[in-house]
């Protein structure tokens, strides 16, 4: 793990869990797996604080513990820390898939790491009740939504137990508990003695499933962009069929027969796709993106989705875009040319790219210097009298460039986060003031305050303050969106690395 990645993880943890957690995690970053005693010693924190911090980290799946000779050893899983960046995306995805209540349930689970079903329903119930939307929450609906999330495997049972060593193996478990609805309702009403019937059955977010869904979204939208709406829908159906017959994260799907594709497509609301299914299959298969391959002819044709290839193509497309944006279209032309020819000499580059020699050289060397392309020296001994000829061939080592760009993403994310924190801190007084005013207003409203009283409170903030506040809020929002966008790229490149 690089320094940049460590810094990024560290500031993510600070933002979401505070300084002590960050401090403990930093120590684990630096030293790898180690015991509670050593962490306490190195961080100079009281043992209870360290324990608390570890507890939080374990709860969210950022720290893993294992039994060694002399007690327990803790180690950090930094990849999971980075997942926090994506929480808003997961929530948005769930919102579109399963509705608002589901999103709120997911949010609760994300905030708690793991939680029982009855608890999450209770909490969500209360949250809806307090929300300004004025919607009436209902326990049966929430239970239904919860079950929907489990059925879709977005939530899975957490096998984390209170006792060490009780961890059974990793097979995900999606069995629903028998919930006692009346007991939950009673609990909401304040009766703490009722038993909802699911104590010790904890749930956590099934990140693996969500990651796969985001991955599939990328594939579908790429095909939609390349071809059209109908082809995109067909791709979605193909991925669904792949899911049914193939282990997750397999490089290619097991063959999907045409008859099944037909069945699946028939159920969609895309008449043109239903009508021209064969043609659309042909188009996706023929496209240079190579997401789909025809692997057999039995039963009208067998098709296989090629995830590995797809992400290679997408990684290339990403890098080409980056080069284009950073160094201009001529540089991007050279980059693609080198990609296409695999190995190529300088002279050929300027000839084929049709760029004046001087400019071509300059661009090629800029790309070389920035490590977007690599150079290889080749010696060729000619006839005895002639000296050994040296060629310099340019080529691209995709993995090297992808790793570099992943680092680039870390750096960019870190910087933008730093800036956002700075903007928040330097306007803290005002943001706090607004928060106080908000609570005051809601409190007063509950107690039936008059319009005049409310207006009085609103006047506590001067117009210029209001203006300033609005500006800051916009800034923070903009920076937040940028973080999400950078994470899009990071996600895509990580997917590539996962397959290669």
Partner 1 sequence: MEIEAGTSKEQDATNADTNPFEIIEQKILALAQARPKGISDKDLIIEMPDLPSVQRAQIINKLLSQGHFDLFKQGGSLLYRLRDPSKAKIAKGADNEEKIVYSIIEEAGNKGIWIRDIRFKSNLMPTQLSKILKSLEIKKFIKAVKSVAASKKKVYMLYNLEPDTSVTGGAWYQDQDFEAEFVDVLNQQCYRFLEKKREQMNSCRGGPIMARNVTFASSKEVWKFISDLGISKVKLSVEDLEMILNTLVYDGKVERTLSGDGSILYRAIEPLLDSPGLIKSTCGVCPVRKHCCDIGDVTPTKCQYITEWLE
Q: Which residues bind partner 1 (CB under 8 A)?
A: 222, 225-228, 230-231, 272, 275-276, 279-280, 282-283, 288-289, 313-314, 317-318, 320-322, 325-326, 329, 332-334, 336-337, 340, 347, 352-357, 359, 385-386, 405, 408-409, 411-412, 414-416, 418-419, 422, 475, 478-479, 482, 484-490, 492
- Cα(407)–Cα(410) distance, rounded to whole angstroms? 5
Shortest distance, CB of residue 465 to partner 1, whole angstroms? 19
Could you write out the DSSP letters of every residue in 148-186? HHHHTTSEEE----SSTT---------PPP---HHHHHH
CA distance 419 to 80: 23
Backbone angles phi, psi at 66, to 5 degrees: -145, 155
Q: What's the closest the beta carbon of residue 173 comes to partner 1, in angstroms?
A: 35
Burial 175-212 (b: 16+ CB within 10 A, else e): eebebbeebbbbbbeeeeebebbbeebbbbbbbebbbb
* 31 neighbors 15 (Cβ within 8 angstroms): no
Is 461 or 484 the residue whose CB approaches partner 1 more closely?
A: 484
Task: In angstroms, give the least distance from the CB of 246 to partner 1.
Answer: 23
CB of residue 356 to partner 1, shortest distance in Å:
4
| Least distance CB 373 / partner 1 (angstroms) | 14
Residue nearer to partner 1 on the CB measure, 4 or 39: 4
Dihedral, 54, 60, 66, 67 alpha carbons, nearest 10: 60
To partner 1, the closest distance from the beta carbon of 473 in angstroms equals 12
DSSP letters, 296-361, are E-GGG-EEEEBHHHHHHHHHHHHHHHHHHHHH-HHHHHHHHHHHHHSSEEHHHHHHHHT--HHHHH
Strands (E), 365-489: 374-380, 389-395
Shortest Å distance, C-beta 457 to partner 1:
30
- Cβ of residue 480: shortest distance to partner 1, in angstroms? 12
Of 40, 114, 115, the closest CA to residue 72 belongs to 40
**Apex 70 CA angle, 61 and 163, nearest 5:** 45
Complex with partner 1: residue 385 or 455, whichever CB lies closer: 385
| Residue 246 per-residue DSSP state | S
Return the number of the residue (169 or 288) whose C-beta is nearest partner 1.
Answer: 288
Q: Which residue has the tokens 């792949």?
A: 242
Token code pair at residue 187: 């609990």
Count of CB atoms within 10 A of residue 169's CB? 5
Closest listed residue to residue 16, CA positions, set 75, 69, 59, 51 = 59
- If the CB atoms of residues 190 and 271 are measured against partner 1, the closer one turns out to be 271
Minimum Å gap between C-beta 309 and partner 1 is 12
What's the distance, CA 78 to chain centroid? 14
CB of 209 or CB of 341, closer to partner 1: 341
CB of 324 to partner 1, least distance (A): 8
In the block, residue with structure tokens 């607004």: 434
Q: Which helix (H) or strand (E) holds 94?
A: helix 87-98
How is residue 367 written in tokens?
């790309």
Closest approach of partner 1 to the CB of residue 318, in Å: 5
Q: How far is the CB of 408 from partner 1 (least distance, A)?
A: 7
C-alpha to C-alpha distance for 278 and 490, rounded to whole angstroms: 35
Q: What is the CB neighbour count within 10 angstroms for residue 369?
A: 9
CA angle 39, 45, 46 (to 5 degrees): 105
Two tokens at 122? 């209770």
Question: Which sign, positive or negative, has the C-alpha torsion 12, 16, 19, 24?
Answer: negative
The residue among 207 and 327 lying less far from partner 1, judged by its C-beta, is 327
CB 417 within 8 A of CB 15: yes
The candidate with the shortest Cα–Cα distance to 327, out of 375, 364, 353, 357, is: 364
Nearer to partner 1, 188 or 338 (CB): 338
Nearest distance, CB of residue 61 and partner 1, angstroms: 25
Are 398 and 411 spatial neighbours (Cβ–Cβ below 8 Å)?
Answer: no
């Amino acid at each position: 793990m690089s320094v940049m990645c460590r810094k990024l993880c560290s500031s993510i943890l600070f933002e979401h869990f505070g300084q002590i957690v960050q401090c403990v995690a930093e120590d684990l970053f630096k030293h790898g797996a180690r015991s509670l005693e050593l962490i306490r010693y190195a961080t100079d924190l009281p043992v209870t604080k360290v324990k608390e911090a570890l507890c939080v980290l374990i709860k969210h799946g950022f720290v893993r513990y294992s039994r060694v000779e002399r007690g327990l050893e803790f180690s950090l899983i930094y990849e999971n820390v980075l997942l926090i960046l994506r929480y808003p995306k997961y929530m948005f995805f769930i919102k579109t898939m399963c509705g608002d209540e589901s999103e709120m349930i997911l949010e609760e689970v994300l905030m708690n790491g793991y939680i029982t079903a009855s608890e999450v329903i209770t909490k969500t119930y209360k949250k809806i009740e307090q929300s300004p939307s004025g919607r009436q929450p209902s326990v049966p609906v929430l239970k239904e939504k919860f079950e929907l999330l489990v059925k879709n495997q977005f939530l899975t049972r957490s096998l984390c137990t209170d006792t060490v060593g009780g961890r059974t193996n990793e097979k995900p478990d999606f069995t629903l508990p028998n919930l006692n609805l009346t007991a939950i309702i009673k609990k909401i009403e304040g009766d703490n003695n009722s038993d909802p019937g699911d104590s010790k059955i904890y749930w956590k977010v099934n990140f693996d499933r969500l990651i796969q869904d985001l991955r599939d979204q990328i594939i579908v939208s790429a095909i939609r962009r390349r071809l059209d709406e109908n082809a995109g829908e067909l791709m979605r159906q193909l991925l669904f069929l792949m899911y049914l017959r193939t282990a997750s994260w397999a490089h290619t799907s097991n063959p999907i027969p045409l008859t099944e594709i037909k069945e699946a497509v028939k159920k969609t609301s895309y008449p043109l796709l239903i009508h021209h299914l064969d043609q659309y299959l042909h188009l996706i298969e023929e496209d240079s993106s190579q997401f789909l391959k025809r692997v057999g002819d039995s039963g009208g044709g067998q098709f296989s989705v090629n995830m590995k290839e797809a992400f290679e193509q997408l990684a290339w497309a990403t890098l080409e875009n980056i080069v284009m944006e950073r160094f201009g279209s001529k540089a991007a032309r050279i980059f693609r040319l080198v990609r296409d020819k695999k190995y190529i000499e300088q002279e050929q580059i300027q000839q084929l790219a049709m760029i004046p020699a001087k400019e071509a050289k300059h661009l090629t060397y800029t790309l070389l210097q920035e490590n977007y392309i690599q150079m290889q020296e080749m010696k060729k001994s000619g006839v005895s009298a002639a000296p050994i000829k040296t060629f310099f061939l340019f080529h691209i080592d995709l993995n090297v460039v992808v790793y570099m760009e992943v680092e680039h993403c870390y750096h960019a994310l870190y910087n933008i986060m730093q800036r956002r924190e700075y903007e928040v801190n330097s306007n803290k007084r005002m943001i706090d003031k607004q928060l106080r005013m908000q609570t005051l207003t809601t409190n007063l409203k509950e107690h039936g305050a008059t319009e005049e009283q409310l207006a009085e409170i609103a006047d506590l903030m001067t117009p210029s303050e209001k203006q300033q506040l609005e500006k800051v809020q916009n800034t923070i929002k903009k920076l937040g969106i940028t973080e999400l966008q950078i994470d899009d790229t990071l996600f895509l490149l990580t997917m590539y690395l996962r397959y290669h």
